[in-house]
């Protein structure tokens, strides 16, 4: 049985689509389909059932997943042995919520690539939890630890969030002295039914029930705050990227959240991924500390 065919089989099993698997493998969908058919011929059984929802594993296909993943791990270990003295190379795909992906990972990826010229980093910014079981990424950053799955979870760092507004907006609207004053202001927050993690329910900390402007993206919310559209709870580490935005009511509204690194349990045997995870963790901790350190002491923070 050809390992390369097994590799393609796993990609289709995880993506549930020939075209999506092809994009991950840098192949066209027709080639992926032919390779799957060749593997099915070799094992003498259909491995997938095509449905309106995509390619679903048959019973025979499901039984092949574990041996194929074992072969995948063996191939990765062999490749690591060959290039052990050549530095960290190859592709690393990181899944992260868009706040981390927009404001932290670009700088961390820059430093990693400078330290390891043979490394290729892909950043997947998704407004949901990345599915490592389906290998959507090699490792993921999350805002709360998962409670299911064969995963390795590591707490990375805490970070701060505060209510903030742009100076132009604040100069055109009533001053803020207490939480009650927020009733006279326009709020920016998440779309309520698109909050994929309870840790993202920031608006409840303000006592305001409804946001006039909302998005499922942290970056969009920050851009709305920067545009003077209203007040929003934003990451402290994002404020240095938005000139004119400053914290308000900092003595009344101050949230602390954590980032968590999540890896598939099978990847613990990979020295390469372990080294990259350690470097990524150090980079994120340092970048959060650096960016939050650029802000003045919150103090009273009244507008």
Going by pLDDT thresholds of 50, 70 and 90, the confidence category of residue 86 is very low
pLDDT reported for residue 47: 92
Q: Which residue has the higher pLDDT, 281 or 2?
A: 281
- What are the boundaries of each domain within the chain? 3-82, 90-157+258-292, 159-256
Name the CATH superfamily housing domain 159-256. Periplasmic binding protein-like II (3.40.190.10)
Tens of pLDDT along 213-228?
A: 999 999 999 999 999 9
% of residues, the chain, pLDDT over 90 = 58
52: number of Cβ within 10 Å: 4
Q: Over 80: is that where the pLDDT of 197 sits?
A: yes
Map residue 146 onto helix, strand or coil.
coil
Do 159-256 and 3-82 have the same topology in CATH?
no
- Please tell me the distance from the alpha carbon of residue 271 to that of residue 108, in angstroms, as a whole number: 20
**Structural class in CATH, domain 3-82:** mainly alpha
CATH among 3.40.1010.10, 1.10.10.10, 3.40.50.150, 3.40.190.10 for 90-157+258-292: 3.40.190.10
Phi then psi for residue 105, to 5 deg, are -65, -30
In 10 A of CB 263, how many CB atoms?
21
Mean of pLDDT values over 137-154: 87
Cα dihedral 103, 135, 82, 35, rounded to 10, equals -130
- If you average pLDDT over residues 95-117, what whole number do you get? 95
Mean pLDDT of the chain: 88
pLDDT of 142 above 50: yes
């Amino acid at each position: 049985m050809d390992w390369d065919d097994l590799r393609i089989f796993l990609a289709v099993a995880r993506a549930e689509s020939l075209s999506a698997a092809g994009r991950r493998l840098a192949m066209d969908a027709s080639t992926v389909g032919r390779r799957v058919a060749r593997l099915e011929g070799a094992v003498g059984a259909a491995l997938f059932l095509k449905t309106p929802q995509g390619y679903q594993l048959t019973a025979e296909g499901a039984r092949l997943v574990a041996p194929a993943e074992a072969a995948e791990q063996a191939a990765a270990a062999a490749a690591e042995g060959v290039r052990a003295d050549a530095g960290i190379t190859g592709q690393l795909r990181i899944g992260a919520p868009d706040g981390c992906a927009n404001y932290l990972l670009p700088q961390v990826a820059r430093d990693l690539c400078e330290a390891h010229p043979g490394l290729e980093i892909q950043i997947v910014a998704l407004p949901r939890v990345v599915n490592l079981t389906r290998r959507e990424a090699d490792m993921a950053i999350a805002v709360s630890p998962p409670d299911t799955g064969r995963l390795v979870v590591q707490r990375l760092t805490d970070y701060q969030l505060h209510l903030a507004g742009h100076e132009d907006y604040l100069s055109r609207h009533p001053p803020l002295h207490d939480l009650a004053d927020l009733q006279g202001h326009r709020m920016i927050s998440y779309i309520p039914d698109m909050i994929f993690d309870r840790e993202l329910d920031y608006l409840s900390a303000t006592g305001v029930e409804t946001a006039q402007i909302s998005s499922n993206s942290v970056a969009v919310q920050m851009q709305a705050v920067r545009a003077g559209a209203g007040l929003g709870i934003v990451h402290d580490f994002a404020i240095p990227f938005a000139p004119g935005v400053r914290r308000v009511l900092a003595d009344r509204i101050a949230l602390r959240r954590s980032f968590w690194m999540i890896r598939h349990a099978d990847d613990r045997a990979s020295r390469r991924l372990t080294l990259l995870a350690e470097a990524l963790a150090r980079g994120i901790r340092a970048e959060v500390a650096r960016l939050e350190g650029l802000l003045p002491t919150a103090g009273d923070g009244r507008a």
